[in-house]
Structure 1
Amino acid sequence: MVKYEFPKDFWWGSAASGPQTEGVYDGDGKGESLWDFWYQTEPEKFFNQVGPEKTSRFYQKYAEDIQLMKETGHTSYRTSIQWSRLIPNGTGEVNPQAVEFYNKVIDELIANDIEPFINLYHFDIPMALQREGGWLNRKTVDAYVVFAKTCFELFGDRVKKWFTHNEPIVPVEAGYLYQFHYPNEINLRHAVQVGFHELLSSAKAIEAYHAMKLDGEIGIILNLTPSYPRDETNPADVKAAAIADAFFNRSFLDPSVKGTFPTELVEILKEIDHLPIYEADDLETIANNTVDILGINYYQPRRIKAKETPIDGTHGPMPDDYFDNYEMPGRKMNIYRGWEIYEKGIYDILTNVRENYGNIRCYISENGMGVENEERFINEAGQVEDDYRIDFVKDHLRYVHQAIQEGSNVQGYHMWTCMDNWSWANAYKNRYGFISVNLDKEGERTIKKSGHWFKQMTEAHGFDD
């Protein structure tokens, strides 16, 4: 029998976001976000036409939900402050109902010995700003910094773990390259500018936080998807994987941790005349305001081979001009999400961070398994028997444990997510939570088998094999 034991102060918990859990209610003072707008204009784009107003009702049920977090072994929990809830128009007046709500959530978490980890931006730009160009517009950077400072002033006395952005590559990919989020563009020039402004806003928020002399720490949360070459002995495959890594991982990882941009990416963007527009001191701001801590979201690997298919120039240059994706024979799949399950990837990321990024303090901020039609696995007692999720967590934690043994500075593990929540255009198609949510019964909660297991595991600081 092998014992996988973790440090006594390891951060155990889960992650969610404001727009995916809170819901929308009459009189809550919330402004319109990009997601509210998109759903109202194209509801058919959302699975079963379930929109952001029908999320898991955390706005009303937060006290009950925090008790369930305690029952499932949480010592920490990450969520986000919705920009459009706190400052409904993106700039201007602060919504007092939002201040009251977030104060109650933070206080309730602390009262139950669950440390709040608070993220500031989770894809949910106020629509008033999006109408003026969103992250393409430099004014959004300034508005975001005011939003961040407002959060620090209101909640920084109690919140000690702050994060500027969750997965900032997603608005770039989804909104401006591959058309799975609004505004559904295919435009690399816009994608690069959006990414640069997100990075600049992160650096400026970090600068503002440190200037306020608050006694916490601030970082960023990145979804790191390792790029593996089809053939490690083939220089063309290796080069293609390095370029994919520069576009989708190092584009945010390097400036956030090191304060510099990957040379390969800069050279490509310079060659095709797609460098972003920036001001003289922006690069210095980014260089001087790197993160204190790094959140790592890991779901799947990226398999890459040298470019073999014809380049499609219909929409101008694209990252895919430099590589092709590769489907590895015999790969293990989550068939519901269409993602490869490759547990060792989490170890490879942590090793890379240890060896190439100064072994910065980090934690696994998301890792999860979405499954469709989980009601198939409800037993006679009304509980979802999700042994597959328990196995998924164990299989990844074994590699996290190995990374710790080899010196990784990883401090915790958060599952995506606490309870089933709304997943953007996928709505509730796939369920991820330790706790099930019954939409037909006013969001009734039931702890799944994995939630009870997680409680036992965190109390024991590990598990046996």
Structure 2
Amino acid sequence: MDVKFPEGFYFGSATSATQAEGAHTADHKAPDIWDLWFEEEPYKFHGGVGPADTSTFFEHWREDIELLHETGQNSFRTSISWSRLLPDPEGDPNPEAVEFYRNVFGTLRAEGVEPFVNLFHFDMPVALQERGGWESREVVDLYERYARIAFELFGDVVKRWYTFNEPIVHVECGYLQQYHYPCKVDPKAAAQVAYHTALASALAVRACHEVLPDAKIGIVLNLTPAYPRSDNPADVRAAHIAELFANKSFLDPSVHGAYDPELVELIKKHGLMPVVDETDLAIIRDNTVDYLGVNFYQPLRVCARASLPNPEAPFMPTYYYDVYAMPGRRMNPHRGWEIYPHALYDIAINLRDNYGNIEWIVSENGMGVEGEDKFRGADGTIQDDYRIDFIKEHLTELARGIDEGSNCIGYHLWTFIDCWSWLNAYKNRYGLVELDLETQERRIKKSGRWYKQLAEARGF
């Protein structure tokens, strides 16, 4: 056997409430920003498919947990829908939501599947977006209240928590690039949102340690290592600045309790400093995460800018660099992302050497493919050998990092069952299990059978 993982290593998968649960009617939950956006501009969603039904986990969770066993998983990450648990952000929990989540988390634990539960996965309640969303300090306090309620309700069965999934995404996509609601292009607001999110995360960490002293709480960050085009000093400098914005903006406050001074100076230089309270900075300093979730899909390749930036344009991090399309790079043509497994090794070593060798888990890694039906075999099973190869390559690099001392405890594939993916809806399929959108039938793919063999052998 060439690749082997330690005893107790977590092999599992990840999803989120909005992408998997369905049951997005007024009877079940208050609207979040995805419900609102789909109502306002349904044409922006691939195939006109919104979040109302998604993968119907709310209805089929018992069957889906059985499929976790059939695909060999000893752990599973999902999230709580804030607007399902607290339809009124200042009111009492929704009894149906409490029952649903207790059933799911309790059953997972009882059946030997460790639940990893995330509190926020891009799904701001509309009631709070109308009050400013993450631009508002008031919403930060209401998030802390929500987190405490979740810890009190489910802390007996959930021992591993996350505060946020990929917080840089709702900063960049919501306030710079218009890929997420509220679709603003407002760099000053983006900086405020980023700061408030880091503060909210620290407040949730503090609350978890107070309510559940034996639990562990982390944050999920999409770490995309920034590689320079060349060793030319201008390219190297461009990659360094890209790293500050893309990775260190949340990694440093989450793990070190403070921002990189160079990043702060850049924010000041462009007149984007958020409203900051010294008391809040102390909260960030004193409430760092216990472990990290790391989502990795693709590297970030950059080079020195080919032209001077427009001084009148709204600030973007690309003020300092151009994204570089490296000739000959391997691509997933369906998603338009580069495939570069070696980056997972680089992440492992970076966390070992520069972040106190913090405990971490690969919380997402996966391959989205369009038109998987064309890979269906004679027996009706999706023959997704490309996904098996993708996982093997990434696990090989991960194992190398672990062998060299990086403190990684597991690997969660994105995703378990083909899920709804924001504006892309069901364009690309990521699952170990195929979902028939017409019948809701679940069928294990070849990769799902192989994943069980992987988990049982702890390697390949």
TM class by shorter chain equals: over 0.9
Confirm whether residue 118 of structure 1 aligns to residue 117 of structure 2: yes
CA shift, 1:271, in A, is 1.2
8 Å contact from structure 1 (residues 164, 202) kept in 2: yes
**1:204-215 residue pairs with structure 2 within 5 A?**
204-215=203-214
8 Å contact from structure 1 (residues 370, 430) kept in 2: yes
Query: What is the distance in 2 between the residues matched to 1:59 and 1:214?
Result: 30
Give the equivalent residue in structure 1 for 2:412. Answer: 414
Give the equivalent residue in structure 2 for 1:184. Answer: 183
Give the equivalent residue in structure 2 for 1:109. Answer: 108
Give the equivalent residue in structure 2 for 1:272. Answer: 270
Give the equivalent residue in structure 2 for 1:36. Answer: 35
Task: Using the aligned pairs only, state the percent identity.
Answer: 53
Give the equivalent residue in structure 2 for 1:170. Answer: 169
Query: What is the distance in 1 between the residues matched to 2:73 and 2:27?
Result: 28
Query: What is the distance in 1 between the residues matched to 2:11 and 2:47?
Result: 33
CA shift, 1:209, in A, is 1.0
Query: What is the distance in 1 between the residues matched to 2:95 and 2:81?
Result: 13
Give the equivalent residue in structure 2 for 1:68. Answer: 67
8 Å contact from structure 1 (residues 89, 127) kept in 2: no
Structure 1 stretch 313-322 or stretch 364-373: which is displaced more? 313-322
Give the equivalent residue in structure 1 for 2:215. Answer: 216
The one-letter code matched in structure 2 to 1:305 is C
Partner SS, residue 296 of structure 1: strand
CA shift, 1:317, in A, is 1.8
Query: What is the distance in 2 between the residues matched to 1:165 and 1:208?
Result: 14
Give the equivalent residue in structure 2 for 1:458. Answer: 455
CA shift, 1:263, in A, is 1.9
Say if 1:155 and 1:457 are closer, same or farther in 2 by CA, change over 3 A. same
CA shift, 1:3, in A, is 2.0
Confirm whether residue 449 of structure 1 aligns to residue 446 of structure 2: yes
CA shift, 1:394, in A, is 0.1
Query: What is the distance in 2 between the residues matched to 1:36 and 1:143?
Result: 21
Alignment size in residue pairs? 460
8 Å contact from structure 1 (residues 240, 305) kept in 2: yes
TM-score, with length taken from structure 1: 0.97
The one-letter code matched in structure 2 to 1:237 is D
8 Å contact from structure 2 (residues 32, 124) kept in 1: yes
The one-letter code matched in structure 1 to 2:267 is L
Give the equivalent residue in structure 2 for 1:324. Answer: 322
Query: What is the distance in 1 between the residues matched to 2:144 and 2:386?
Result: 42
Gaps of 5+ in 1: none
8 Å contact from structure 1 (residues 11, 76) kept in 2: yes
1:229-256: CA deviations, max 9, x gaps? Answer: 0112x11111111111101100000000
Gaps of 5+ in 2: none
Query: What is the distance in 1 between the residues matched to 2:308 and 2:269?
Result: 20
Partner SS, residue 334 of structure 2: coil
8 Å contact from structure 1 (residues 367, 415) kept in 2: yes
Give the equivalent residue in structure 1 for 2:394. Answer: 396
Structure 1 stretch 279-288 or stretch 64-73: which is displaced more? 279-288
Say if 1:280 and 1:27 are closer, same or farther in 2 by CA, change over 3 A. closer
The one-letter code matched in structure 2 to 1:407 is G
Give the equivalent residue in structure 1 for 2:434. Answer: 436
Give the equivalent residue in structure 1 for 2:16. Answer: 17
**1:79-94 residue pairs with structure 2 within 5 A?**
79-94=78-93
8 Å contact from structure 1 (residues 178, 186) kept in 2: yes
Query: What is the distance in 1 between the residues matched to 2:31 and 2:396?
Result: 42
Structure 1 stretch 376-385 or stretch 126-135: which is displaced more? 376-385
CA shift, 1:216, in A, is 1.1
Query: What is the distance in 1 between the residues matched to 2:24 and 2:347?
Result: 40
Query: What is the distance in 1 between the residues matched to 2:131 and 2:227?
Result: 39
Partner SS, residue 117 of structure 1: strand
CA shift, 1:421, in A, is 0.3
Say if 1:57 and 1:435 are closer, same or farther in 2 by CA, change over 3 A. same
Query: What is the distance in 2 between the residues matched to 1:360 and 1:312?
Result: 40
Confirm whether residue 383 of structure 1 aligns to residue 377 of structure 2: no
1:199-230: CA deviations, max 9, x gaps? Answer: 00000111111112431100100000000001
Query: What is the distance in 2 between the residues matched to 1:341 and 1:3?
Result: 21
CA shift, 1:54, in A, is 2.0
Out of 343, 357, 360, which is 1:359 matched to? Answer: 357
8 Å contact from structure 1 (residues 157, 214) kept in 2: no
Query: What is the distance in 1 between the residues matched to 2:158 and 2:186?
Result: 38
CA shift, 1:25, in A, is 5.2
The one-letter code matched in structure 1 to 2:266 is I
Query: What is the distance in 1 between the residues matched to 2:32 and 2:26?
Result: 16
Partner SS, residue 3 of structure 2: strand
Query: What is the distance in 2 between the residues matched to 1:116 and 1:211?
Result: 20
Partner SS, residue 119 of structure 2: strand
1:400-435: CA deviations, max 9, x gaps? Answer: 110111001000000000010000010000000000
1:129-186: CA deviations, max 9, x gaps? Answer: 0011100011110010000000000000110000000000000111011111111111
The one-letter code matched in structure 2 to 1:458 is A
Say if 1:25 and 1:301 are closer, same or farther in 2 by CA, change over 3 A. closer
Give the equivalent residue in structure 1 for 2:291. Answer: 293
1:69-101: CA deviations, max 9, x gaps? Answer: 000010000000000100013332211100000
The one-letter code matched in structure 2 to 1:446 is R
Runs of 4+ in 1 over 2 A off after TM superposition: 25-29, 312-316
1:254-298: CA deviations, max 9, x gaps? Answer: 000001111221111111211111212111110100000000000
CA shift, 1:359, in A, is 0.2
Query: What is the distance in 1 between the residues matched to 2:239 and 2:42?
Result: 37
Query: What is the distance in 2 between the residues matched to 1:223 and 1:37?
Result: 26
Structure 1 stretch 376-385 or stretch 196-205: which is displaced more? 376-385
Give the equivalent residue in structure 1 for 2:94. Answer: 95
The one-letter code matched in structure 2 to 1:242 is H
CA shift, 1:111, in A, is 2.3
Query: What is the distance in 2 between the residues matched to 1:58 and 1:158?
Result: 19
8 Å contact from structure 2 (residues 134, 140) kept in 1: yes
TM-score, with length taken from structure 2: 0.98
Partner SS, residue 150 of structure 1: helix
Out of 245, 248, 251, which is 1:250 matched to? Answer: 248
Give the equivalent residue in structure 2 for 1:143. Answer: 142
Query: What is the distance in 1 between the residues matched to 2:12 and 2:210?
Result: 30
8 Å contact from structure 2 (residues 155, 212) kept in 1: no
The one-letter code matched in structure 1 to 2:143 is Y
CA RMSD of aligned residues (A): 1.1
8 Å contact from structure 1 (residues 222, 296) kept in 2: yes
